[in-house]
Amino acid sequence: MIEIFLNEWKGFYRNRLMAVVALLFVASLALVTWLGVVQNQKQIESQLKAHRHIRAQWDELETMNPHKAAHFGSYAFKPNTILNSLDEGVNAVTGKVLRLEGHTQHDLVYSEASQSLLVSKFGKLMPSLLFQFVIPLFLIFLAFNTYAKERDSGRLKLLLIQGTSLQKILFSKILSIWIIGVLCLIISILTQVVFNGNAFHADFPLRMILMISSYSLYYLIITTLTVLLSAIFSSASVSLSTTIAIWVLWTIFLPKIVGNAVEKLSPLPTRVEFQKAMDEDRSKGIDGHNPSGERKKELEKEILAKYKVDSLSQLPINFDGIVMQADEEYGNMVWDKHFGKLYQQMQSQKRNYQFSGIINPFASLQNLSMGAAGTDMFHHLDFLKQAEEYRRVFIKTLNDKMAYGGSKTGDWDWKADSEFFKSVKDFEYKPISIKTIFPKYLTDILVLVLWAVVMLTLVNYTSKRISIL
């Protein structure tokens, strides 16, 4: 088996065209990876710069009423992960800037895709594009006549007469081509490590293992399928066209059609419907700026009783701050209810999409690649969750200052000093750990493993059924 494997590689080496193409391909892969790193570093720098700029403005606040400061608010910039340079995932289509202020939870806005004409329907030329589109095609072209060539030239019979089994021949050929795909992956990852070495976090090795394993499995599936079809069909061109048709179906067509179908199966509300439902629920709570609500009266009674006084003017605290916070907390409940449902629906869409891996292993690969790079929907939702949690703490700090900082009810001109504003904690996004995200991708991993096992079993089965001599 090793001899056949080595012989196969010798064949690649001796084919000058093949050697040139491979060399060019490896060089382009390294170049693309480096450019991806450059692009990502530029984005990370600009996010950090924007973040520091916004925070500096907050730190420079002079005396100000805390509630006015809550409306002055802050911004969270969605950070790029280091592995964004390998697979950009949802980052190109989602917004980058989130406004954080009192009373309102905003949307992430200003996506890159909305800032120019459309360039590429398949995304930037990042390593993921090469890993997902080009390398599999490259493997198909290497594999489609590897068996047919031996059969048509009569070398196959010779090998079998010498005592080698067809099973060994097929598996050696699969292995020799598959390793090329894996080598391409390793080159790209090494380039990534060289140019990004300093910035890696503890999660990096696990994420890399997940990414390399997923792509390796997919390449094994593609290579095995091509060799299998090459063994089944009598003509190399028929096997090639069939494999390419499958590649088109998996890579170009099915992800879009399944994505659409999944969304149609469980459609998200329109923004108008969603906002209307939220407004309705919100209107049932306390309006921080509307002093005549029923709920507010109840809260007033409760606070007066707590401080054992008869009127708001006797309170040692500022009741307006309490009302603002009660309004926030009600708003938070409304947000949790509606956005919770929305995010659950998105996650259920994702789960349904994951099942499409049963007919399309490319879908599983895509999911795992984004998941490992930290650029999938789960990471995106996690950023939104952390930003919202921060917003709540941020606004509560300001409302508490308003309530207990020394002012009295109705004293809207009261101002907190600049030291207080400087003391308010800044937003820092902590990327979700791969261990947390891993269980969500078990389906994809299982599907890829299953595909690989089925493909290898089919090759094994076919090798015993084909009559050569």
Q: What is the footprint of other proteins within residues 71-130 (CB under 8 A)?
A: 72-73, 75, 77, 89-90, 92-97, 99, 106-107, 109-126, 129
* 162 belongs to the binding site for other proteins (CB under 8 A): no
Q: Which residues of 315-324 are buried (b: 16+ CB within 10 A; e: fewer)?
A: bebbbbbbbb
For other proteins, the binding residue among 187, 206, 263, 450 (CB under 8 A) is: 263
* 281 belongs to the binding site for other proteins (CB under 8 A): no
Structural contact between residues 100 and 58, judged by C-beta atoms closer than 8 angstroms:
no
* 164 belongs to the binding site for other proteins (CB under 8 A): no
CA–CA dist 400, 315 (Å, integer): 15
Residues numbered 9 to 48 that lie near other proteins (CB under 8 A) are 32, 35-36, 38-39, 42-43, 46-47
* 431 belongs to the binding site for other proteins (CB under 8 A): no
Distance spanning both ends of the chain, measured CA to CA: 20
Q: What's the farthest any 2 CA atoms get from each other in the chain?
A: 105
* 304 belongs to the binding site for other proteins (CB under 8 A): no
Q: Which is nearer to other proteins, 285 or 452 (by Cβ)? A: 285
Residues numbered 306 to 345 that lie near other proteins (CB under 8 A) are 342
**Of 329, 343, 344, 338, nearest to 277 (Cα)?**
338
CA–CA dist 82, 443 (Å, integer): 25
Structural contact between residues 128 and 87, judged by C-beta atoms closer than 8 angstroms:
yes
Q: Which is nearer to other proteins, 248 or 468 (by Cβ)? A: 248
For other proteins, the binding residue among 350, 385, 392, 408 (CB under 8 A) is: 350
Q: Is 171 helix (H, G, I), strand (E, B) or coil?
A: helix
Instruction: Tell me the site size for other proteins, rule CB under 8 A.
Output: 91
CA–CA dist 82, 45 (Å, integer): 12
For other proteins, the binding residue among 9, 18, 26, 269 (CB under 8 A) is: 269
**Of 45, 100, 64, nearest to 427 (Cα)?**
100
* 295 belongs to the binding site for other proteins (CB under 8 A): no
Q: Which is nearer to other proteins, 315 or 447 (by Cβ)? A: 447
Taking CB under 8 A as the binding criterion, the range among 177-185, 285-293, 434-442, 444-452 that sits at the site for other proteins is 285-293
Structure tokens at 456: 């290898």
* 213 belongs to the binding site for other proteins (CB under 8 A): no
Structural contact between residues 291 and 301, judged by C-beta atoms closer than 8 angstroms:
no
For other proteins, the binding residue among 241, 386, 418, 462 (CB under 8 A) is: 241
Please give the single-letter amino acid code of residue 106: H
Least Cβ distance, residue 137 to other proteins (angstroms): 7
Half-sphere exposure of 467 (CA within 13 A, CB side): 0
DSSP 108: E
Q: Which is nearer to other proteins, 3 or 60 (by Cβ)? A: 60
Taking CB under 8 A as the binding criterion, the range among 235-243, 298-306, 408-416, 435-443 that sits at the site for other proteins is 235-243
- Contact map string, positions 389 to 428, toward other proteins, x by CB under 8 A: ----------------------------------------
